[in-house]
């Protein structure tokens, strides 16, 4: 079984509070994009969970530190099955980019193993298991344009969402999510994100009604840590982006363009400076059988 695990972008990211246990309360609008990893699943001997990783940035762990392995083990514990699996993960989504690569890979594993092992777990059950592994996983299981609140457990579907060309750039090394949130706490940054207005613009599909910078509460501190983030956003605008900002906690940024030709021209220009520059588009699902 082969599955495409799609990356995501944050149209917005607002921090609304912090729980006593340290978890941040968020209000985000997210959508999948066509940049994807590929996860292949094959039945194995009972009790065996093995992962091979092809590609990716640096050394990607293949043991219990990897969300794909943790998803498989969590599914076995929850369902009580003793079946095994051999998994191969082909990485194309940059690591430490704020594009949800690890979360999407884990979501694809939960969906695929639910089918491969014939567990018949419901969507709600899969999302509950996923939330214990990572805040973005329930969204990656659900897909579509979605408002995500709380610690990732409150999902409000907003339809399939618009399909627009994107240029995605990672202009610097990946950022640690924990380090970015720590910097945000120290910075006393405040940002007003007009989430309802943003949702209205996305639902109409009118690109010109989309705010040029929808709002990401973490972008200012991430720019301070890696100034290339701000430089990439500025260059996306200079090359015709209607909207551009950082995704998640960084370090990737994206620009939205009126047509694919304009996006390709911008990618060619930015690609001369940063090798991790690509053209893709927004889409409706977070995973799909290949």
Q: Please report whether residue 211 resides in a domain.
A: yes
Domain assignment of residue 149, given as a range: 2-159
Co-location of 50 and 186 in the same domain? no
Q: What positions carry a catalytic annotation?
A: 8, 136
Mapping DSSP to helix (H, G, I), strand (E, B) and coil, where does residue 160 land?
A: coil
Per DSSP, the residues of 215-283 read -BTTHHHHHHH-THHHHHHHHHHHTT-SEEEE-TTSS-EEEE-SSHHHHHHHHHHHHTT-SSEEEEEB-
**Residue 125: CATH number of its domain:** 3.30.230.10
Same-domain status, 244 and 140: no
196 and 152 assigned to the same domain? no
The structure tokens listed for 129 are 């298991």
Phi, psi (deg, nearest 5) at residue 7: -70, 175
The pLDDT tens digits for 243-274 are 999 999 999 999 999 999 999 999 999 999 99
Query: What pLDDT score does 164 carry?
Result: 96
Tens digit of pLDDT for each residue in 46-75?
A: 889 999 999 988 779 999 999 999 999 999
> φ and ψ at 220, to 5 degrees?
-60, -45
Residues 136 and 181 in one domain: no
Domain end marker among 114, 141, 159: 159
Looking at the fold, whether 13 and 146 belong to one and the same domain comes out as yes
Angle CA(20)–CA(107)–CA(286) in degrees, nearest 5?
110
As for how many domains the chain has, the answer is 2
Overall average pLDDT of the 11-27 stretch: 90
CATH number of the domain within which 182 lies: 3.30.70.890
Residue 290 lies in a domain: no
Residue 96 sits in the same domain as residue 187 = no
């Amino acid at each position: 079984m082969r599955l495409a695990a799609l990356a995501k972008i944050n149209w917005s990211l607002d921090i609304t509070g912090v729980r006593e246990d340290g978890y941040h309360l968020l209000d985000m609008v997210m959508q999948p994009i066509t940049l994807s990893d590929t996860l292949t699943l094959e039945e194995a001997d009972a009790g065996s969970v093995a992962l091979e990783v092809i590609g990716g940035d640096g050394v990607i762990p293949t043991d219990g530190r990897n969300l794909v392995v943790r998803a498989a083990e969590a599914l076995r514990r929850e369902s009580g099955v003793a079946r095994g699996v051999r998994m191969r993960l082909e990485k194309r989504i940059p690591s430490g980019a704020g594009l949800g690569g690890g979360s999407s890979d884990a979501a694809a594993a939960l969906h695929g193993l639910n089918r491969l092992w014939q567990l018949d777990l419901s969507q709600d059950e899969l999302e509950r298991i996923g939330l214990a592994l990572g805040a973005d996983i329930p969204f990656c299981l659900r897909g579509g344009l979605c408002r995500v609140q709380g610690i990732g457990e409150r999902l409000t579907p907003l339809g399939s969402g618009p399909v627009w060309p994107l240029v995605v750039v990672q202009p610097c090394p990946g950022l640690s999510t924990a380090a970015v949130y720590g910097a945000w706490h120290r910075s006393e940054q405040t940002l007003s994100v007009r989430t309802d207005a943003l949702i209205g613009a996305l639902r109409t599909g009118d690109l010109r009604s989309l705010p040029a910078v929808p709002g990401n509460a973490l972008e200012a501190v991430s720019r301070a840590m890696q100034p290339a983030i701000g430089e990439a956003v500025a260059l996306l605008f200079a090359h015709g982006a209607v909207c551009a900002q950082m995704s998640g906690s960084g370090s990737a940024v994206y620009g939205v363009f009126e047509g694919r030709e304009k996006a390709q021209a911008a990618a060619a220009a930015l690609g001369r400076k940063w090798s991790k520059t690509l053209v893709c588009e927004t889409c409706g699902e977070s995973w799909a059988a290949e």
